[in-house]
Structure 1
Amino acid sequence: MNLEHFLKNEAPSWMSDSGADTDIAISTRIRLARNLDGYRFPRSFTEQEAKRVDEVVTNALLNYQEGCNFSHFTIKEMPALQRLVLVEKHLISPLLAKKEKSASVVISNDESISVMVNEEDHLRIQCLTPGFQLFETYENANKLDSYLEKHLPYAFNETFGYLTSCPTNVGTGLRASVMMHLPALTMSNQMKVMTQMLTRLGMVVRGIYGEGSENLGNIYQISNQVTLGKSEQEILEDLQNVVTQILQNERNARHSLMKQAPIALEDRIQRALGTLRYARIMTSEEAATCLSNVRLGVDLGLIKDISVSILNECMILIQQGFVQQYAGTTLQATERDLFRAKLLREKLNGDSHNSKEKGEEKYDV
């Protein structure tokens, strides 16, 4: 596949509504950090070493034959806008997007797997699935990891486990996370207390793009913080239990909102839908908030004519990189707000096909 396939396809398979608990759990991600024995880690290696790591890892991945076709892309050959779009689709990290030394990403055609090469570690294997599917997602990642371990010399220590650039990843190298839409817990001011509780349980709550990012549209990533001293099974079981409890708490909070202030809640939801369908200027923050309210309305059965899959597409579509990708040119902030509103009007008024056709043209503001 060429890069355009991944840039124009705003709805990757892992953002479908086919998984478990998709009313709250948007997606599940498993990330495995690995390094190669005999090479310095990315923070201190030379350009020559970086090229060699990229070469051996890529060759192994492109020979993977387990029903998964990969495409390879070199980061420094991409314009900044293309890198930003891949970050917004969670296919690469913000850190990889800034890399100057030889770094690359290998992506499966359905975008459910991406392997970042020479990010913080030599390899970051990432698998994504829709909904709440921790163990299934881990099996996908582990299958690829086992294949690579047979073909590459992993840096492994019998005492400490997999060796990584950052000490917080040593051991299993496993970060498991679930992206969750938690509007009712946010509205009822319960997220601060819940975040503190999760920290005590060895979990971490982050924004939509991971560490240091905002929770745009009431979307949070819940993930494990401990990778050393626990097995992969124990890490997954702990997160499974935590996310199951959060799912129940969010559903209870939604029930309370419906019971205590149904008219006010429906008014909030319908106002958000009206804004998305008719506004002429829309910031990414306002768009995310409105999409969150509309998604809640769909999940509660208050909105019948919009699918969750369309809202998932819009979540990606409203981001800075995607807006400019659709416009076909670099836009200033005010211009992005105009074009973002235009895309949302077309997408949510049932004219998504026409939206794509118009979006491919250069937008003249």
Structure 2
Amino acid sequence: MGGLLSKEPPDLDSMFNKFEKTDSKSLLKKHLTRQLFELLKTRRTGLGATLLDVARSGLMNPDSVVGVYVADAESLTVFAELFDPIIGDYHQGFSSRSVHPAKSWGNLNAIGDLDPEGKYVVSTRVRVGRSVDGFPLNPRMTAQDYLDVEGQVAVTLSTLEGELQGEYMSLSTIGKARRKELVNRHLRFKEGDRFQAAANACRFWPRGRGIFLNSDCTFLVWCNEEDHLRIISMQPGGDLGQVYRRLAAAVDTIGGSLGFARHPRLGYVTFCPTNLGTGLRASVHVRLPRLAADRARLEQVATEHDLQVRGTRGEHTKAEGGVYDVSNKRRLGVTEFQAVEVVQKGVLALVSAERALEG
């Protein structure tokens, strides 16, 4: 049974004692008090996850923003006294009493083309993170777990038909030329950063990791990157509706075969608590050169529509040629349709504002 007392991990006390003296601004530092630490440090989930598995990265990296990762589905319950306030702080408006809604793709035909003229939107991408039910997540995964997850994922993906049909490539076996090609096309993922590495997300690399790609390069699955699966639909231009419908069909088909881990209150289980809920991020690269020169107006429209606006190449990058990465801020507490609809309305508003500045 989960939640039973276990032998204390040998270095947890010393790690916390050192962390307690730092001036970390992380959510872990804010919420893991000495009293809570003493309460949680001997707990263990049914799959063996401890407080050390959950908090190791944040303890080792005081400059973390969040500082915790999900070690298995049950850890969200066993260590709820820590996860709940951190999740509430990050996902503003989602309290410890809130319940994430059931999956709903909504009216798929209500999402359309954001830029039929092809003047503003460069590309569109919608992805979800998913965990295979019954397996631990990175902090507790063994080398065999990675291989077992990859095996199940590869078999499931081999049954996809139509536009989803494609090829699975294990990173352990693909050749050097193919690896280089995938990197150049931004289709291959690399080992995680130091925050993920500290959470044991990069062990046994590249064992059990792989990429699935359809023939049109509009559908992609990453196996055992950050989550067990990152399911991605993408294409040039602004037809968000087509991208969204492709993703919905893929997620339902894959989930029907594998079974995805889902928490009764927090939605789909993901390695990083920032992705809980839908696990969905709809991202549109949109060209806004005039708004780029009027950052206050850009931020105003983004705030009004609850959007996250980042540079062309993601967080902490600049907008190259006035191209911004625009996506939904909320993933928890909203349905899949609501998350995508926010992006549709927000991008249309940004394009309207850009048009107004053109005179």
The DSSP-based 3-state class of the residue aligned with 1:120 is: coil
Q: Which amino acid aligns with 2:350?
A: I
Give runs of aligned pairs for residues 176-187 of structure 1, distance below 5 A.
176-186=282-292
Report how many residues are paired. Answer: 237
Correspondent of 1:53 among 149, 159, 177: 149
Q: Say yes or no: does 1:109 pair with 2:205.
A: no
* Cα deviation, residue 45, structure 1: 1.2
Q: What is the CA–CA distance in structure 1 between the aligned matches of 2:176 and 2:299, rounded to whole Å?
A: 34
> Deviation at 1:51?
0.9
Output one character per residue of 1:102-161: Cα deviation in whole Å (capped at 9) or x when no partner: 211000011000000001100000001332222331111010111111110210123221
Do 1:36 and 1:152's aligned partners in 2 also have CA atoms closer than 8 Å?
A: yes
Report the equivalent of 1:232: 336
Q: 2:245 maps to what in 1?
A: 139
CA distance in 2, matches of 1:238, 1:124: 21
Q: Distance in 2 between matches of 1:246 and 1:18?
A: 11
1:245 corresponds in structure 2 to 349
Q: Calculate percent identity across the aligned residue pairs.
A: 30
Taking structure 1 as the reference length, the TM-score comes to 0.59
SS of match in other structure, 1:241: helix
Higher normalized helix content (fraction of residues): 1
Using a 3 Å threshold, how does the CA distance of structure 1 residues 20 and 66 change in structure 2: closer, same or farther? same
SS at match of 1:252: helix
Counterpart secondary structure, 1:100: coil
Residues in 1 aligned to 2:255 and 2:302: alpha-carbon distance in whole angstroms? 33
TM-score normalised over the length of structure 2: 0.60
- Mark the runs of 5 or more structure 1 residues left unpaired by the alignment: 1-16, 257-365
Distance 2:324 2:244 in 1: 20
Matched letter for residue 150 of structure 1: G
Question: What are the within-5 Å matches in structure 2 for residues 353-364 of structure 1?
Answer: none
Residue 6 of structure 1 corresponds to none
| 1:69 partner amino acid | Q
Residue type at the aligned position of 1:233: F
Which residue of structure 2 aligns with residue 205 of structure 1? 309
For 2:158, the aligned partner's letter is L
Name 2:125's counterpart in structure 1.
29
What is the correspondence of 1:1-365 to structure 2 with a 5 Å cutoff? 20-77=116-173, 83=179, 85-95=181-191, 100-186=206-292, 189-191=293-295, 193-195=297-299, 198-199=302-303, 201-253=305-357, 255-256=358-359
Contact 1:163 1:170 in 2 (8 A): yes
Provide the C-alpha distance between the structure 1 equivalents of 2:266 and 2:317, rounded to a whole number of angstroms.
30
Please state whether the residue corresponding to 1:217 is helix, strand or coil: coil
Task: Name the CA shift for 1:101/1:203 in 2 (closer, same or farther; >3 Å).
Answer: farther
Per-residue CA deviations over 1:79-122 (Å, capped at 9, x if unaligned) read: 78855653453424455798534211000011000000001100
Residues 80/207 of structure 1: CA separation in 2 closer, same or farther (3 Å cut): farther
One-letter code aligned to 1:216: E
CA contact (8 A) 1:195 1:204 kept: no
User: Equivalent residue of 2:334, what SS?
Assistant: coil
Q: 1:246: Cα distance to partner?
A: 0.8
The answer to whether the 8 A contact 2:114-2:239 is kept is no
Give distance in 1, aligned partners of 2:190 and 2:230. 13
In 2, Cα distance between equivalents of 1:54 and 1:165: 16
Q: What is the alpha-carbon root mean square deviation over aligned residues?
A: 2.8
Letter in 2 for 1:195: E
1:149 and 1:245 map into 2 onto residues whose CA distance is 34
- Secondary structure at the aligned position of 1:106 is classed as strand
CA offsets per residue over residues 152-204 of structure 1, 9 Å max, x none? 02101232211111111111111101111222222xx2135523652564321
- The structure-2 alpha-carbon separation of the partners of 1:208 and 1:232, relative to structure 1 and needing over 3 Å to count, comes to same
Per the alignment, do residues 214 and 44 of structure 1 end up closer, same or farther by CA in structure 2, a change over 3 Å counting? Answer: farther
Instruction: Tell me the secondary structure at the aligned position of residue 139 of structure 1.
Output: helix
